[in-house]
């Protein structure tokens, strides 16, 4: 394992940008180890002790002249280590080396065309044949005077110093964000910085990532006991397996069946985690308790709260039975952290009370173990495969905490759940059969609280409507409906109506998000 302290790495100095973790992610994708350190903690003595081949200074919400609000240790610029400043990092690098930064009259937000002025190692293969490229900007201030011995590599209409460099010292500044996907060929620029300028070698694989996380879990929890709420979804499954590898029998997973899971889900989870992976697992069948609490409740928010609270109550009931538990493991991902903290500090409007195990720790006084909190969903999926979890578990579509209850608008009954489980099963199976499942970000069936008239075998029917939803998305924040062909629509509609009693009409949801949300409630 290559996890020694002397592993060569890229140091990312974080000035509070919402994209700092994206920089780390891109570097991981390029097969290189990096470490993020807050600007408050950067110390040149510490840097010398490590094998740091390059420094990237992130963007951030501050102004370079508010020096009381951030810390920048200028000595790190005298260590002969290549430096790349991004956005705010570009501005602070310029200012510290004798340049000037001012508030721009023409702020640049979103896609901006930039033009090459001179060659640079940093921008090899970055510009098109016309020496132009589209990059993603987000800044109000800009560098107005370059430091001595710098040259301009590229400019935009509104900022003359978009890319600058001091080739001899290996200092580079870019006003835009190469780490976001909107910047065309942003990764090419980062690759040039890593391999042509810092001359670092590839040293980071998924296996290294896995071993590092296992090592960190061991260090954090020692010989203490950990509990983990297992839902069978991708994130909690990967967390459970990571902890299983790290601490084995000191992990206990609690799997609460709220009766709102998909068909066969309970047996699949028990089979994988208890039988195959031999994880300590407490299975709680709480179907009756949930359905009782949901009786006659039709308000979406009330449903969500009831399910969330009962989940916590049951989880606590069983967690208390395990002696000496000190930690609670959760599958928090990096996007969850960004969404739960408002980056700008402004209040965001509450659309739905999302439910996961998040409410537990304060009351239970447990410390959190969140090994995935700096990873993105697709990275977690790859990590799951590296941990020998089956592709079936890893590629599952997201499933909400309140489960099928929010796919049955209105009052939830045993009968409706049963009908819905079957409809969903037919839909998902058909998607798998036609190799569509992995092309779709999330798909499900819902049961609408409306009955309509139909005719089957010369008889009048009066049954529920089944709504099918299938969307494409990158992160669930925005979504578009998936375009099925007519044949698929016909097949699935027939299968559902012919096989499931209680449904006589199938409709397809063709709204995007926004204005709709992915779930119905």
**Binder among 102, 151, 382, 513 for ligand XMP (CB under 6 A):** 513
Q: Is 199 left (phi over 0), alpha (psi -120 to 50) or beta?
A: left
Q: Is 401 in the site for ligand XMP (CB under 6 A)?
A: yes
Q: Is 173 in the site for ligand XMP (CB under 6 A)?
A: no
Number of residues that bind ligand XMP (CB under 6 A): 14
Q: Is 252 in the site for ligand XMP (CB under 6 A)?
A: no
Q: Is 305 in the site for ligand XMP (CB under 6 A)?
A: no
- CA angle, 14 as apex, 12 and 19 as ends, to 5°? 90
Closer CB to ligand XMP, 256 or 497, in the complex: 256
Closer CB to ligand XMP, 384 or 400, in the complex: 400
Residues 53/198, Cβ–Cβ less than 8 Å: yes
- CA angle, 163 as apex, 159 and 166 as ends, to 5°? 130
Among positive and negative, which fits the CA dihedral 477, 478, 481, 482? negative
H-state helical runs in 447-508: 486-499
Structure tokens at 9: 């790495």
Q: Which of 506, 238, 484, 499 is nearest to 373 (CA)?
A: 238
Residues 269/368, Cβ–Cβ less than 8 Å: no
Measured CA to CA, the distance from residue 112 to residue 444 in angstroms comes to 39
Pairing, β 281-285 against β 171-174:
unpaired
Closer CB to ligand XMP, 34 or 356, in the complex: 356
Closer CB to ligand XMP, 200 or 518, in the complex: 518
Q: Which of 320, 315, 354 is nearest to 228 (CA)?
A: 315
**Binder among 2, 184, 298, 517 for ligand XMP (CB under 6 A):** 517
Q: Is 82 in the site for ligand XMP (CB under 6 A)?
A: no
Q: Is 398 in the site for ligand XMP (CB under 6 A)?
A: yes
Q: Is 409 in the site for ligand XMP (CB under 6 A)?
A: no
- Tell me which of 108, 165, 179, 521 is the catalytic residue: 179
Q: Which stretch binds ligand XMP (CB under 6 A): 78-86, 284-292, 328-336, 349-357?
A: 349-357
**Positions 453 through 512 that interact with ligand XMP (CB under 6 A):** 476
Q: Which stretch binds ligand XMP (CB under 6 A): 39-47, 73-81, 350-358, 375-383?
A: 350-358
Asked if 179 is an active-site residue, the reply is yes
Q: Is 387 in the site for ligand XMP (CB under 6 A)?
A: no
Closer CB to ligand XMP, 263 or 355, in the complex: 355
Asked if 90 is an active-site residue, the reply is no
Measured CA to CA, the distance from residue 285 to residue 238 in angstroms comes to 23
Residues 142/101, Cβ–Cβ less than 8 Å: yes
Structure tokens at 300: 């979406």
- Tell me which of 177, 355, 397, 464 is the catalytic residue: 177
Residues 127/97, Cβ–Cβ less than 8 Å: no
Residues 106/158, Cβ–Cβ less than 8 Å: yes
With tokens 């592993």, the residue in question is 7
**Binder among 161, 442, 466, 470 for ligand XMP (CB under 6 A):** 442
Closer CB to ligand XMP, 280 or 332, in the complex: 332
Q: How far is the CB of 481 from ligand XMP (least distance, A)?
A: 13
Closer CB to ligand XMP, 186 or 331, in the complex: 331
Q: Is 400 in the site for ligand XMP (CB under 6 A)?
A: yes
Q: Is 519 in the site for ligand XMP (CB under 6 A)?
A: yes
Residues at the interface with ligand XMP (CB under 6 A) = 352, 354-356, 398, 400-402, 442, 476, 513, 517-519
- Catalytic residue positions, numbered: 87, 177, 179
């Amino acid at each position: 394992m290559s996890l020694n302290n002397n592993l060569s790495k890229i140091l990312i100095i974080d000035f509070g940008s919402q994209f700092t973790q994206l920089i780390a992610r891109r570097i991981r994708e390029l097969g290189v180890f990096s470490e993020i350190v807050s600007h408050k903690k950067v110390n040149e003595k510490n840097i010398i002790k490590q094998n740091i081949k390059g420094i990237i200074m992130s963007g951030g919400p501050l102004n370079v002249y508010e020096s009381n609000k951030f810390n920048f240790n200028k000595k790190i610029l005298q260590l002969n280590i290549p430096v790349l400043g991004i956005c705010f990092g570009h501005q602070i690098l310029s200012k510290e080396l004798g340049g000037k930064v001012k508030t721009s009259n023409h702020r640049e937000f979103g896609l901006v065309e930039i033009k090459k002025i001179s060659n640079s190692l940093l921008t090899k293969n970055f510009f098109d044949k016309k020496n132009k490229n589209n990059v993603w900007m987000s800044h109000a201030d800009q560098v107005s005077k370059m430091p001595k011995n710098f040259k301009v590599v590229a400019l935009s209409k509104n900022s003359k110093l978009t890319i600058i460099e001091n080739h001899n010292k290996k200092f580079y500044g870019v006003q835009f964000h190469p780490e976001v996907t909107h910047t065309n060929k942003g990764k090419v620029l980062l690759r040039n910085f890593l391999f042509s300028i810092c001359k670092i070698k590839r040293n980071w694989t998924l296996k290294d990532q896995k071993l590092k996380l296992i090592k960190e879990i061991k260090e954090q929890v020692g010989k203490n006991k950990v509990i983990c709420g297992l839902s069978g979804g991708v994130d909690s499954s990967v967390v459970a397996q990571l902890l299983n590898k790290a601490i084995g029998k000191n992990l206990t997973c609690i799997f609460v069946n709220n009766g709102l899971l998909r068909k066969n889900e309970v047996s699949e989870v028990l089979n994988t985690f208890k039988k195959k992976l031999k994880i300590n697992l407490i299975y709680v069948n709480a179907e009756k308790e949930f359905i009782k609490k949901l009786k006659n409740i039709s308000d979406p928010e009330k449903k969500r709260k009831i399910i969330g609270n009962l989940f916590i109550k049951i989880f606590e009931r069983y967690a208390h039975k395990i002696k000496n538990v000190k930690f609670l493991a959760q599958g928090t991902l990096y996007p969850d952290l960004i969404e739960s903290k408002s980056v700008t500090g402004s209040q965001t409007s509450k659309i739905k009370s999302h439910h996961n195990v998040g409410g537990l720790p304060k009351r239970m006084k447990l410390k959190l173990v969140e090994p995935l909190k700096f990873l993105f969903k697709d990275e977690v999926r790859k990590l799951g495969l590296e941990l020998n979890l089956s592709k079936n578990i890893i590629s599952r579509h997201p499933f909400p905490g309140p489960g099928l209850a929010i796919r049955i608008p209105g009052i939830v009954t045993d009968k409706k759940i049963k009908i819905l489980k079957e409809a969903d099963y037919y839909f998902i199976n058909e998607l798998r059969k036609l190799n569509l499942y992995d092309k779709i970000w999330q798909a499900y069936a819902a049961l609408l609280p409306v009955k309509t008239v139909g005719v089957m075998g010369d008889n009048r029917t009066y049954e529920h409507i089944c709504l099918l939803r299938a969307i494409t998305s990158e992160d669930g924040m925005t979504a578009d409906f998936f375009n099925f062909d007519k044949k698929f629509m016909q097949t699935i509609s027939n299968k559902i109506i012919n096989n499931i009693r209680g449904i006589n009409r199938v409709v397809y949801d063709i709204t995007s998000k926004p204005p709709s949300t992915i779930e119905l409630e």
